[in-house]
Amino acid sequence: MRVVAQRVSKATVTVEGKQVANIGAGVLLLLGIETSDTAEDIAWLVHKIANLRIFNDDKGVMNLSLLTTKGEAIVVSQFTLHASTKKGNRPSYIKAAKPDISQPLYVEFVHQLEQVLGKKVGKGVFGADMKVSLLNEGPVTILIDSKNRE
């Protein structure tokens, strides 16, 4: 499971001209799910994201987490995070999980993040053509991979 976590001042997701998610300060999470992902990947990643110290304290040092700032979150499913560009110029998505596997994991990821944060989390529309808008704060953009826990 891969996540691109972006610290934002605000973010929105629009589908077919209708805004489906809107947050202020917090994180926009682009979530890529692969076939081998499990509940363990979800639990590890949710804990990591909720406690990741990427928000500034009163001294301007990134020392606060989403939990401590009571920030908001949007989760957008993005299978292209598992693109392989090893051969040729057309990315291969063979490692990305098919919807019958990835959609339930996406729903569970959002549910667990809501439980940990104690609030609703914004969502994209799984499988839809989404327009994602954000004001990246910092900018702070971090890639986290549950299979490569560095």
Rounded to whole angstroms, the Cα distance separating 133 from 106 reads 20
**Cα separation of 129 and 114, whole Å?**
24
* Active-site hit among 12, 79, 109, 112: 79
> Which of 78, 85, 109, 126 is an active site residue?
78
Q: What is the DSSP string of 12-58?
A: EEEETTEEEEEESSEEEEEEE-BTT--HHHHHHHHHHHHH---EE-T
Catalytic residue among 35, 38, 80, 115: 80
What values do phi and psi take at 112, rounded to 5? -65, -40
Told to judge if 115 belongs to the known catalytic residues of this protein, a careful annotator would answer: no
> Is 68 among the catalytic positions?
no
Active site residues: 78-80
